Copies of this chain bind each other. A is one copy, B any other.
Amino acid sequence: MAPKPTTDRQRAATLADVGREAGVSAMAASAVLNGAKTSTRIADDTRARILAAAERLQYRPNGAARGLAEQRMHTLGLATLLPGDELNQYFLEVFNGIVEAAARAGQSTTVFALEDWRQGASRLAALCDGRIDGMILLAPLLQLDDAASLPTHTPFVAVHANHALPGVVNIESDEEAGALAMVRQMIALGHRRILHLAGPTGSVGAARRVAGWRRAHAEAGLEPPPQYLVPGEFSIESGRVALEAWLQRHRGEPLPQAIFAVNDAVALGCQQTLAARGLRVPEDLSLVGFDDTLLARTAGLATVRQPLRELGHRAVELLVQRIEARAARRPDPAGPTQVLATEPVLRASLAAPAPTSRTVA
């Protein structure tokens, strides 16, 4: 028997259609086709008739209608800034973890691209409009006031929020410990002049890496000079430009023995500047990143590993738990901030400093 194309191509068949075709009511069809919650049993022959009718009509349940009735769309929202012109590997790895875990939990993921977080805060409320069951905020830069405008009827989970927001469970990784452990290693290798290309002021993540860098120095009884802390952004371009500018400003001074960049992208940017000047890694200068994105793995870049996929997984698991608790009218299982471990990853770009100091050309 060939599958019969439905004559009506604009609309799909509904439960009512199936019911009519099978000579039963729509809810009998509902009970048979979409396993009803109530322990309603349907006689075998009716069931067969309904199944046949559904097959004949190519019946497909309508998710929007089901969602409206059930108050559950089985869809998670993901709010994030648009990666912009330069692909953000950090975002992509976490995103990957989220989609993966969501699929495993039978949820799909709707991505909302925000322009910026200021405007985003008010938009977030509008996005929780019943099309998603919960929302994940990816590296949100939100202030306390913003949390007030977040809807209370949709659970929120954040990954690497810059602020503890009431009602929003945060999942992050121990960036300070990672930075500390890494810079400790660098100092143990003999490095003394470790330039830190930091992130933007206002980012907690960046601040924590600075703190780790500082603490490692302090532990060793060292104090890095102020000009060894260079603010910047999280991008390749920023790393390239910031390092070039720094080198030009400090011409004639001793060349740093190592660079500890706020993330892999910035480290890659440094790499480009160094290459353009004929400086070799790690012979002339060691280079260390942060995140352990694919970029670092392919470039042989020493870095601090953050479990990015895992962060995504956790966010989804926690969010789904909160959604289900709410649906079951159980108490919200929202716990405290979850902090995952980080670890230094040693690769070819990090070596002991050369015995003789070079000078910035």
Q: Which residues of A contact B (CB under 8 A)?
A: 3, 5-6, 9-12, 58, 60-68, 73, 75, 82-83, 86-87, 89, 92-93, 96, 99-100, 102-103, 108-113, 125-131, 148, 151-153, 236, 268, 271-272, 294-295, 298-299, 326
Contact = CB atoms under 8 A, between A and B. Distances in A.
Given A82-B103, A100-B113, A103-B112, 13 more contacts: A12-B153, A60-B125, A60-B129, A62-B129, A64-B64, A65-B68, A82-B99, A86-B294, A87-B93, A87-B294, A92-B92, A102-B113, A109-B110
Contacts of A10: 153, 326
Contacts of A75: 110, 131
Contacts of A112: 103, 108
A6 B236 CA distance: 45
B100 A96 contact: no
B131 A64 contact: yes
Contacts of A113: 99-100, 102-103, 108
A232 to B, nearest CB: 17
A110 B68 CA distance: 18
Contacts of A12: 130, 151, 153
7 contacts: A3-B148, A5-B152, A11-B153, A64-B68, A68-B68, A73-B131, A295-B295
A294 B271 CA distance: 15
Nearest to A152: B9
Nearest to A68: B64
Nearest to A67: B64
A275 B272 CA distance: 19
A64 B73 contact: yes
Contact of A131 (B58, B63, B87, B295): B63
Contacts of A152: 5-6, 9
Contacts of A236: 298
Contact of A96 (B58, B61, B87): B87
Contacts of A60: 125-126, 128-129, 151
Contact of A295 (B86, B148, B298): B298
Contacts of A92: 87, 92
A69 B187 CA distance: 65
A298 B86 CA distance: 11
Contact of A9 (B58, B67, B153, B294): B153
Contacts of A326: 10
Nearest to A88: B96
Contacts of A131: 63-64, 67, 73, 75, 131
